[in-house]
Chains A and B, each alone.
Chain A
Amino acid sequence: MTIGTLDTGVPGESLPDFATGSRSFSWWGMVLLICTEATLFGLLIASYFYLRFRGGVVWPPDGIAKPTLSTVSVMTPILLLSSVPVHLGEHAVRKGHMIRARFAFLLGWLMGATFLLIQLVKEYPDTLKLFTPRTDVYGSLFFSLTGLHGLHVFVGLLMSLWIQVRLWKGAFTPERHVSVQNFTLYWHFVDVVWIFVFGTIYLSPHF
């Protein structure tokens, strides 16, 4: 029996007592969670276009101006690029560069937090001056879709904190790091969803 393995009882057979990727249960759990969450976003985006095209010809309705892109064009690259340090962080864990991984995940966390902060202190107050969720269906859709995404970013930030604390405590090795993988997967998902949310909320009304 070598370190990190256990005998199974079949003579000469021993298996690793850890797993990553598709060998582990939790990786599958995360993939399925992403499936169900993606369905939730897909249905909400479908509802957006359903309501837009069932309504009048003018979108946004009620004299609301088309969404401005100034703030969101700063937010979007910050969030999308945060996938880079997160990816590099996972890579660093796999290679055993734990110090490098700490910095990478911290950078990713700060970028995600910046995105959320800009949304809460600049984008939402600016938008609320023009319309609120109670104004009409457009307002309801704007805030529910971006809000649901923001909630997912928030959960991702909490997951990142959990990963970072465990990283500091030395929980991960190049072999044992399935939680890091699962978090990375979730974070990429949240970023990819933003592309669709951004396209729906900010770009589509211009066409």
Chain B
Amino acid sequence: MVDVAERLEELWAEKPGLADFIGTVDHKRIGKRYLYTAIFFFVVGGLEASLIRLQLSHANLHFLNPELYDQIFTMHALTMIFLFVIPALSGFGNFVVPLQVGARDMAFPRLNAFGYWIFLMAGIFMSSAFIVGRAPDAGWFSYVPLSNAHFTPGVNTDFYTLGVIFISISSTAGAINFIVTIAKMRAPGMSINRIPLFCWGELAMAISSVFAFPALTLAALMLELERRLGFHFFDIGKGGDPILWQHLFWIFGHPVVYIIILPALGITASVIPTFARRAMIGYAWVVLGEMAVALLGFGVWVHHMFSVGLPAISLSMISITSFVITIPSGIVVLAWIATIFSGRIIRKTPMLFILGFILIFVIGGLSGVMFAAIPFDQATTDSYFVVAHFHYVMAGGAMFPIFAGIYYWGPKMTGRVLNEFWGKVSFWIMFVGFNVGFFPMHITGLMGEPRRVYTYQPGLGWDVWNMIETIGVFIFSVGALITLINWWWSAKHGELAGNDPFGGETLEWGTTSPPPHYNFEHIPTIRSRHPVWDQPELRGGDQPIEAGGRALDDAHVTLSTSLLDARPQALIHMPHESGYPFALSMSLLVFFFGLLSGFLVVVGVGGLFAAASVVGWLWPRGQTQET
């Protein structure tokens, strides 16, 4: 069967060189780029966090002045949410989803490349704010009237509004790509009740994104129109209402918490069965729980606004949904715990990170459900208790699964296993550092320490706790750094991984590490929810994979299968490498810098190049016939 592999290689390989470096559409390359770029921004966001913690380590410090402090805590949030966590989880999704469903690529490979380039350009756009010394400084939720042109006259907030509109393009494009890939590209036989749990997590995230990001885009667009062109959406003197901003922002802002956490739950549900050596208990419950969380996530936004002074009826209704959402989340957590208890645990690094994650996520969930109680929320709002809570669910809740993912899928990406000893060391340092750093914030929060204030008076009983928090965050950073070094070192010198270093159940373990350009020599036919465990041919057994597999080696095509039961329906011609996604994203970067600077010529040039890139992208080459 060598000739099948050779023909596929000829069809799918990308040539080395600059053209294909820029023009690549391979989901594996793009996925890794997402991950590496996100890790870079993780380091940036981490440095910002360190500066914040240094400033707060003692009372009355003037290490940072208030203006700089505002810029740094705002950029810390924007960097960590939009440039680290969301793209890192997209990176795993990009790399893993097509492998897990047995496809040759994502549904829209050029759109996928475009999504990555836009993410990179938006990252450059937002970070460049530091170069001109005018980074966003009104907080990541940039409430009006503070963020309007009167109270924040510089370009600081324009970096924010234009930056989030820019990055929304990337997230929406990525989400649509994930949905179509999981809905239409599953290997024959992978009916809806056999979709891997990681894909369910990505799917729930993507569906949420499609409906949540428009709210952010709209809010930011309105704010920018108000700041630059004198519109009056939020201006109370002209009939507007600043509370509208809060509604629109949190209609995006709460679902985004689930956009972050759902893929993390997906990683968890992938890692647990592998290291508990048994199938996930309550597969259907886990899937329904994740979907219910994604849906209910749209009905809880007002709990960020309990202290605004809204009518009691709105508060009560949102309070109820905020309590209800803990039920599906609880079901998912209980399914993990039941699986772990009834399995035979192998304590390898990915599993350690997941066990640590479960503990942190449950602590964050418990402080989260407290906010559903209106009086408690009103008492603790804008205090460090809130900071503690969202770092447990969003920072710990996303970061520990991301690190589990690095140890779990890293070998699939690089072909080499990460060092186990240093992995465990890294985990324990991170776990201890995280709790030392963030748990005391609950205490100082209850003692009344407000968030977003650059310093505090001595003698309030906060000094010791703040020092401990700072030490904890630095311990945590050391642990994270060990993993990054371990990853870099192991990619060159680690043990060879083979196809399946951990004995996983899902399809990505049925191909080589790293996988070939075409992912699978034969698209396998799936007969089980745990294909690699139950189908010996996928582990290189006696029966060859081509029995019942489809080689598709006549053309550059992939399978389209039916939505529910994954019957083969058609072969779809896939696009080749293209430089236009890069050209379009570069043009948009120029366009956005034009809007920022107010030079209409730059806007025009960016717009023209963007239009030309779209024409080039869509221009029919070779065959003019529709496929």
User: Residues of A with Cβ closer than 8 Å to B?
Assistant: 6-10, 13, 15-19, 22-26, 28-29, 32-33, 35-37, 39-40, 43-44, 47, 50-51, 54-56, 61-62, 133-141, 144, 162, 166, 169-173, 176-179
- Evaluate whether A138 and B570 lie within 8 angstroms (CB atoms) in the complex, with A19-B560, A133-B231, A179-B626 already known: no
Q: Which of B210, B239, B247, B548 contacts A10 (CB 8 A)?
A: B548
B573 at the A/B interface (Cβ < 8 Å)? yes
A61 touches B618 (CB 8 A): no
Residues 213-251 of B, flagged 1 when their CB comes within 8 A of A and 0 if not, give 111011000100110011111010011110110011001
Closest Cβ of chain A to B566, distance in Å, is 13
A-B contact pairs, 7 of them (CB 8 A): A9-B553, A17-B557, A25-B572, A28-B180, A43-B214, A54-B243, A162-B618
B179 at the A/B interface (Cβ < 8 Å)? yes
Q: Which of B180, B215, B546 contacts A39 (CB 8 A)?
A: B215
User: Residues of B with Cβ closer than 8 Å to A?
Assistant: 107-108, 111, 172, 175-176, 179-180, 183-185, 210-211, 213-215, 217-218, 222, 225-226, 229-233, 235, 238-241, 243-244, 247-248, 251, 522, 546, 548-555, 557, 559-560, 563, 568-573, 618, 620, 624-627
A40 touches B233 (CB 8 A): no
- Evaluate whether A173 and B625 lie within 8 angstroms (CB atoms) in the complex, with A8-B552, A29-B180, A47-B244 already known: yes
- Evaluate whether A134 and B230 lie within 8 angstroms (CB atoms) in the complex, with A9-B549, A19-B560, A35-B210 already known: yes
A50 touches B247 (CB 8 A): yes
Nearest B residue to A180, CB-CB: B626
- Residues from chain A with Cβ under 8 Å of B239 in the complex: 51, 55-56, 61-62, 136-138
- Evaluate whether A140 and B232 lie within 8 angstroms (CB atoms) in the complex, with A9-B522, A51-B240, A55-B239 already known: yes
A36 touches B550 (CB 8 A): no
Closest Cβ of chain A to B310, distance in Å, is 11
- Residues from chain A with Cβ under 8 Å of B243 in the complex: 54
The docked-state distance in angstroms from the alpha carbon of A17 to that of B623 is 13
B244 touches A50 (CB 8 A): yes
Closest Cβ of chain A to B31, distance in Å, is 19
- Residues from chain A with Cβ under 8 Å of B235 in the complex: 137
Nearest B residue to A52, CB-CB: B239
A133 touches B620 (CB 8 A): no
Q: Which of B175, B176, B232, B571 contacts A6 (CB 8 A)?
A: B571
- Residues from chain A with Cβ under 8 Å of B554 in the complex: 6-7
Known A47-B244, A140-B240; further 6 A-B contacts with Cβ < 8 A: A17-B572, A40-B218, A61-B239, A137-B238, A140-B226, A141-B233
Nearest B residue to A172, CB-CB: B626
Closest Cβ of chain B to A3, distance in Å, is 12
Q: Which of A17, A19, A144, A166 contacts B555 (CB 8 A)?
A: A17
Closest Cβ of chain B to A62, distance in Å, is 8
Closest Cβ of chain B to A147, distance in Å, is 10
- Residues from chain B with Cβ under 8 Å of A6 in the complex: 552, 554-555, 557, 571
